[in-house]
Chains A and B, each alone.
Chain A
Amino acid sequence: MSADQWIALIAAIVGGALRVGVPFLFVSLGECLTEKSGRINLGLEGVLVLSAMAAFGGAYLTGSPWLGVLAGATAGALLATLHGLLCSLPRVNDVATGIALMLLGMGLAFCLGKPLIQPQAPQIPALPLGGWSDSPVVQSALQVNALLPLGVVLAVLLWWAFARTRWGLLVRLAGDSANATRALGYSVPGIRIAATAAGGFIAGLGGASLTLFYPGSWNEGISSGQGLIAVALVIFARWSPLRCLVAALLFGGAGAIGPALQSVGVGWGYHLFNTVPYVLTLLILVVTCKPGSVAAGSPGELSSTKQS
């Protein structure tokens, strides 16, 4: 490959990381908040797809991308609230409920989103961060989703809230010891439902950035497991919102390798390169998990990391 091709390849991967990383960032922050309260929400995959559809539909109907973003986040919060309520019933397993909501969310999205496959919706504006470069390749790669700064602020805000605020401490308390929470007179299900709903709202922002930014259309293959990768990503980030930011960009970059290679004319192994994020997730889990011990930083009440 020539030098120009290398620049194009790297620009495409960096651009892809910034583009694909944004949904990852929001979903992983939402999952992080949910898991901090002691529950796992595998249904975020359904939340992501449903909110992607709702955001696109909202933007299409109102003509405003920002109202679309709000619609997406609200839809995400509603579906996540259902998860929170169901899991508060006795004998209801949060992992199985997540699978059910994944199915329900995707079904609702595909069903209600059928008329949205053709039309175009107004898009979230792009922030041109590549103005310093003369290369059009670099400039187009650094057209960044306007939701990215919001995600960065949100990550810092969550990190600060978990460490410093009463609400953040309550969420962590519910996640680490249900008994201690009850002893202090707080409602464990109440805190967890609130955290799950807020997590769904944040994940809904990720759904909105799937359909309201490049390539900017709604179709049934809009998400390919980003909501589930986020669960592993949160483990990788050891339940820290700031590390979620780094992890999301890393995964975005990994997901961009296949399309980036194709854009410079390397067609071989397109589907193999598309599996890189999943393989990377598995490798990270292999490295970070240890049999018979709980992952460092894991909330004590979390079912997914409890081991015999």
Chain B
Amino acid sequence: MHPVAKDILLPVAAIALALLLFGGFVGFAGVNPLDVWATLFKGAFGDWFSWQNTLQRAAPLMLTALCVALPARAGLTVIGGEGALVLGGLAAAALPMAVALPTNAAGTLLACAAGAVAGALWIMLAGWLRQYRGINETISSLLLSYVAIGLFKHFVEGALRDPASLNKPATPSLDPGLLIGGIAGSDVHWGLVLGVLACVALGLWLHFTASGFSVRVVGGNPRAAQLVGLPATRLVLLACALGGAAAGLAGAVEVAAVHTNANGALIAGYGYAGILVAFIARHNPIAIIPVAIVFGGFGAAGSLLQRRLGLPDASVMVLQGIAFVLILASEALRDVDWRTWWAQRRKRPEDTGTTPAPTAHVEAI
């Protein structure tokens, strides 16, 4: 089979199987699986209202998925996008408090840039710790995101708090001139366009520029990168910075387009869902766009599942978890040569054909 066909077929099959298993899971809870599948589709893509909700959720997912995908192309498993997102949101909300921004598109851009810089620095810290201190970036990025959430709460409930926000601590609302509006009067905001543009631009960068290619060499074969003298550390930090900037931008956009200020609702798990999206897209920025829309749809359908069928809102998380597990397991089928497998099966049905595969996972030699 053509590799690209496998890239598409395996995830599609895995998601389909995940939906099937999820149907079994809710059937166990006494809900008709057919109703669940219908509601999932209706809540995600059923009508224009659902589409707006889906696309609104897909925008931050695209950006947080980039925070996983870009470092992954440089050989790093960074899972701390949630931290970059909340700090990005905090920076975007804090900048107008510190300096008077022009209340127009330029001001919005500056606030978004502040968010991107905050996110970039945060993920670069994880990359720096790996390159210079040899610390596993998966663990450090996740720990850093807990620190980021602590910092976020500290500032939102302390120094940056709007005294008028009594029950729900929040920063002062942004000036209406700084807010990101909907596209053509809909609920879908311009953040979606930013997300798509970022995915396309970074996808082109990875494939058609020398620096993008170098990042892929560093991630694909560190020994080769060393032999041809690529500045591996600088490229790893660049990939981390770009990924972190995307996640920080996601936070800034959420603040400027959805919440209008930084509050606890910003910590909504987009960073973690982005990990799943990036893995399904096989860390390909262009493929992130459709995958983010599908999973934005599942997220959007969550509240409908709760209202219509009485399922807990976390049931979408179960679906995501099952899908993630199956996507990873489907990797095992990628290398199977089906034609040879069938031929062997027909010739010697008693031989199950299992060979002791080396299980040791070699990260880098």
Give chain A's interface residues, CB within 8 Å of chain B: 38, 42, 82, 86-97, 99-101, 103-108, 110-111, 114, 178, 182, 188-189, 192, 220, 224-225, 228-229, 231-232, 268-272, 274-275, 278-279, 281-282, 285-286, 289-293, 301, 303-308
Among B308-363, those with CB < 8 Å from A are 311-312, 314-322, 324-325, 327-329, 331-332, 334-335, 356-363
B357 — which chain A residues lie within 8 A by C-beta? 90
Interchain CB contact under 8 A, B150 and A105 = no
Interchain CB contact under 8 A, B79 and A182 = no
The 4 closest A-B pairs by CB, nearest first: A104-B321, A107-B317, A110-B314, A275-B150
Contacting A274 at CB < 8 Å: which of B150, B276, B322, B324? B150
Given contacts A272-B151, A275-B150, A285-B133, 8 further A-B contacts (CB under 8 A): A82-B325, A90-B357, A93-B331, A107-B315, A228-B143, A271-B154, A304-B136, A306-B364
Contacting A91 at CB < 8 Å: which of B150, B311, B331, B360? B331
Q: Is the interface of A mostly helix, strand, loop or mixed?
A: helix
Q: Is the interface of B mostly helix, strand, loop or mixed?
A: helix
Q: Which residue of A lies closest to B125 (CB)?
A: A282
Contacting B138 at CB < 8 Å: which of A95, A270, A307? A95
Interchain CB contact under 8 A, A308 and B365 = yes
A131 to B359, CA, bound (A): 53
Interchain CB contact under 8 A, A89 and B361 = no
- Beyond A110-B317, A269-B154, whether A231 also contacts B139 by CB under 8 A is yes
A224 to B145, CA, bound (A): 11
Contacting A228 at CB < 8 Å: which of B142, B272, B356, B361? B142
- Beyond A91-B334, A278-B146, A303-B361, whether A285 also contacts B321 by CB under 8 A is no
Q: Which residue of A lies closest to B126 (CB)?
A: A282
14 pairs, CB–CB < 8 Å, chain A vs chain B: A92-B329, A92-B331, A107-B317, A107-B318, A108-B321, A111-B311, A228-B139, A232-B139, A275-B146, A275-B147, A282-B144, A285-B133, A306-B362, A306-B363
- B185 at interface, CB cutoff 8 A: no
A228 — which chain B residues lie within 8 A by C-beta? 139, 142-143
Give chain B's interface residues, CB within 8 Å of chain A: 77, 79, 129, 131-136, 138-140, 142-144, 146-147, 150-151, 153-154, 157-158, 222, 272, 275-276, 279, 311-312, 314-322, 324-325, 327-329, 331-332, 334-335, 356-365
Interchain CB contact under 8 A, A188 and B359 = yes
Interchain CB contact under 8 A, A101 and B329 = no
B142 — which chain A residues lie within 8 A by C-beta? 225, 228
A231 to B135, CA, bound (A): 12
B364 — which chain A residues lie within 8 A by C-beta? 306-308
Contacting A178 at CB < 8 Å: which of B140, B146, B312, B358? B358
A272 to B157, CA, bound (A): 11
Contacting A104 at CB < 8 Å: which of B144, B316, B324, B358? B324
